[in-house]
Structure 1
Amino acid sequence: MPSPQSAIQDMAEPKVKLTDIAYEQIEEAIITLRIPPGSVISELTLSEMLNIGRTPIREAIQRLAREHLLLVLPQRGLLVPEIDLRKQLKLLETRREVERLICKSAARRALPEERERFTRLHDEFIHAAATDDDVAFLRADREFNELSLVAARNEFAEGAMRLMHGLSRRFWYFHYKQAADVPEMARLHAAVAGAIAKGDVNAAGETLDQLLDNIETFTKATLMSDM
């Protein structure tokens, strides 16, 4: 007969899993613009769209609100914020310092099984580059971001980075057709993943800087084209 503690864990696991699924699906819908900026949606609409119960949806909404991908409007629903170009440049300034720390820490501290996942992600990025597949790239990017946060083992840097990942990915997807190069972006991500997989701390920092240089150039080009 299972212990009371294990029974409680068994009851909790499906709820945690559904919350993660709800979060990932709503985040992807926002980032890939299936739910476009400026949209007002409801908790019920999301629950019906994903066929997931209201409690996991509500928990996913709370997480997305913390990451500034949703704004909760009391009595009115959920607003997907518009994209602000100038705020994006401020975000990049902060992201560079935090993400460099995360990538170098991940290269230093990743466990063997995590390094294997970084190697697999390196290959997925290379495949996305070869096929020019933007959705495959975004999915690999999300997994890379999550794995980097875990492997870095720095809860303070993780907290700061989680506030920036979703906004950065949505901005890129919204504007990439006018100024970005998906294969090049995927190759730059592959270089960072490969450096972390090999435990090369210096290369992890250097390749991350090259990636963010590319993103900053893309962001400034987007800003100039919209002025």
Structure 2
Amino acid sequence: QRLGLGRTPVREAVLRLSAEYLIEVMPRRGLRIPPIDVRQQLRLVETRRVLETLVASQAAERATRAERAAFQSLAKAFRNEGCKSYRRFLRIDHQFNIAVAQACDNEFAVGALQSLHGLSRRFWHYYSGHEEDLTEVADMHACIADAIAAGDTREVAKGVKRHMDYIHAFTRAMLKD
């Protein structure tokens, strides 16, 4: 009430966060932020690997000339700006995700993938040292953006595999801690 929000938007936000496994609804007791589960994250990476490959490959096949030019600009931005600060990387990554979603023209695959990004980002924020990982991660994204711009689905698949292998190895390393 103090924020001026009605019950409906709050309830819808809670339902969405619950559907994305970011909160747990405990009837008559409240809400809870679930603990980070490394094994769950490994299953998430398996799913992301398939969806990221599908969505990025479709973007490479379906992108317009203007979209291809935008991917070239994003690749440059990842290389020039994305490795300088985590905040800049996140801004460029957000633009990249929007561009891929638009170019792939498959709202079902995009919707499934977007529902996984919140958990992935949460895991990354919790475990990553952020800055030291940026150069490599920004380069991976730049390579994928370049491949989409070129319409090269084979290079897209290789780039996504490299990125998902990195995330998988990073996640497995957290099991040992």
Query: How many Å apart are 1:206 and its aligned residue?
Result: 0.8
Of 79, 82, 85, the residue aligned with 1:128 is 82
Q: Distance in 2 between matches of 1:67 and 1:151?
A: 24
Q: Distance in 2 between matches of 1:147 and 1:63?
A: 23
Query: How many Å apart are 1:118 and its aligned residue?
Result: 2.2
Of 102, 125, 134, the residue aligned with 1:150 is 102
Query: How many Å apart are 1:98 and its aligned residue?
Result: 1.5
- Assess if the C-alpha contact under 8 Å between 1:67 and 1:162 holds in 2: no
Q: Distance in 2 between matches of 1:59 and 1:147?
A: 26
* Counterparts in 2 of 1:185 and 1:82: CA distance versus 1, 3 Å: same
Of 68, 76, 79, the residue aligned with 2:21 is 68
Task: Confirm or deny that 1:164 pairs with 2:116.
Answer: yes
Count of residues in Structure 1 that have an aligned counterpart in Structure 2: 174
Q: Distance in 1 between matches of 2:86 and 2:73?
A: 18
User: 1:10-53 CA deviation, whole Å, 9 max, x = no partner?
Assistant: xxxxxxxxxxxxxxxxxxxxxxxxxxxxxxxxxx68xx4xxx84
User: 1:199-227 CA deviation, whole Å, 9 max, x = no partner?
Assistant: 221111111111111111111111112xx
- Assess if the C-alpha contact under 8 Å between 1:176 and 1:182 holds in 2: no
Query: How many Å apart are 1:175 and its aligned residue?
Result: 0.7
User: Cα RMSD (Å) of the superposition?
Assistant: 2.4
Partner of 2:65 in structure 1? 112
Partner SS for 1:181: helix
Q: Distance in 2 between matches of 1:75 and 1:141?
A: 39
Partner SS for 2:22: coil
TM-score normalised by the chain length of structure 2:
0.83
Query: How many Å apart are 1:77 and its aligned residue?
Result: 4.4
Partner of 1:39 in structure 2? none
Task: Confirm or deny that 1:91 pairs with 2:63.
Answer: no
Q: Distance in 1 between matches of 2:97 and 2:27?
A: 31
Task: Confirm or deny that 1:190 pairs with 2:142.
Answer: yes
* Counterparts in 2 of 1:57 and 1:136: CA distance versus 1, 3 Å: farther
Task: Confirm or deny that 1:202 pairs with 2:154.
Answer: yes
Instruction: Give the aligned residue type for 1:112.
Output: R
* Counterparts in 2 of 1:65 and 1:145: CA distance versus 1, 3 Å: farther
Task: Confirm or deny that 1:220 pairs with 2:172.
Answer: yes
Instruction: Give the aligned residue type for 2:160.
Output: L
**Ranges in structure 2 where 5+ consecutive residues have no aligned partner:** none
**Ranges in structure 1 where 5+ consecutive residues have no aligned partner:** 1-43
Q: Distance in 2 between matches of 1:95 and 1:87?
A: 12
Say which is worse superposed, 73-82 or 213-222, in terms of deviation: 73-82
Larger Rg over CA atoms:
1
- Assess if the C-alpha contact under 8 Å between 1:119 and 1:194 holds in 2: yes
Of 16, 19, 32, the residue aligned with 1:79 is 32
